[in-house]
Amino acid sequence: MKAARKLSKLLIALCLIGATVPGLAAVTGTAQDPGQLRQIALDFLTTQASGQNGEIQVTVGEVDKRLNLQACDNPSPNMLPGSKPWGKVTLAIRCTAPVPWLIYLQANVQVTANYYVAANALVQGQIISLADLSKIKGDISKLPPGVITAPEQAIGKSMQVSIPSGGVMRMDALKSPAVIQQGQSVRVISSGPGFQVATDAIALNNAADGQIAKAKTNSGQTISGIAKNGGIIEIVY
């Protein structure tokens, strides 16, 4: 009887240790299915890249077979800070219960879509027309950020730099035309809950649509607002 009681106490002690030590719990509990983790990563990255126009193909690397992970109640995937959701990416998958663990999976997200290159050599200051653009199809995940994927993103804007024929068109190489010119007479419209006031002023700087424009009113006051087409500066309170 004494031997039986000692054995019973020993088994209870072992059970308590297994419940409190993560390493032992991972060994004695149900193992995490690696295939489920890869599917979670696939679904997450596909959703993250869905904002890109084009065909999305996600390839997720294998889970390290040497890992001995206990099955997680709710594995949570996350991008690493500052990373983009296409190209070669590293995805973190974290578990908080019943046993906390964290792993990293390597993946490649390929986005095949139409984008635009220069149909001919373009010089600084040139205003872009449709004839200056040539559409091609390829993996935009390998291109620099801000690639032009629709003609309207470039038409009517001017080149900030010169690029050769065939060069990839990018947003940061273009400048929107000024809707307000320095020295121009402008209309300042101030509005808020229940009121709207308009006054005349003289623009103090050039500004494209949506940019900050400064102006001096007839009374000598300097104001700042949002430049709008038609020589309007909008101030919203």
What's residue 22's pLDDT?
A: 40
pLDDT over 60 at 16, yes or no:
no
E-assigned strand segments in the chain:
55-60, 76-79, 87-95, 101-118, 133-139, 158-159, 174-175, 178-180, 185-192, 195-203, 207-208, 212-217, 222-228, 232-236
pLDDT over 70 at 1, yes or no:
no
Average pLDDT over residues 36-41: 96
| Confidence band of 29 (pLDDT split at 50, 70, 90) | low
pLDDT over 50 at 41, yes or no:
yes
pLDDT digits (tens, 9 = 90+) for 178-225: 899 999 999 999 999 999 999 999 999 999 999 999 999 999 999 999
Mean pLDDT estimate for the chain:
87
Q: Strand pairing partners for 78?
A: 92
What's residue 21's pLDDT?
A: 36
Question: Who has greater pLDDT, 39 or 1?
Answer: 39
pLDDT over 70 at 99, yes or no:
yes
**List of long-range contacts for 20-29, beta carbons under 8 Å, 24+ apart:** 22/70, 22/99, 22/100, 22/101, 25/70, 25/98, 25/99, 26/68, 26/69, 26/70, 26/99, 26/101, 27/68, 29/70, 29/71, 29/98, 29/99
pLDDT over 60 at 11, yes or no:
no
Torsion angle (degrees, nearest 10) of CA 199, 201, 206, 208: 10
User: How do the residues of the chain divide into helix, strand and coil, expressed in percent and rounded to 5?
Assistant: 25, 40, 35
Roughly how many angstroms between the first and final C-alpha of the chain, as a whole number? 85
What whole-number distance in Å separates Cα of residue 89 and Cα of residue 85?
7
Instruction: Please name the helix (run of DSSP H) or strand (run of DSSP E) that holds residue 45, with its range, or none.
Output: helix 34-49
The residue length of the chain stands at: 237
Instruction: Please name the helix (run of DSSP H) or strand (run of DSSP E) that holds residue 157, with its range, or none.
Output: none
What whole-number distance in Å separates Cα of residue 74 and Cα of residue 42?
16
pLDDT digits (tens, 9 = 90+) for 121-156: 999 999 999 999 999 999 988 898 889 999 999 999
pLDDT over 70 at 20, yes or no:
no
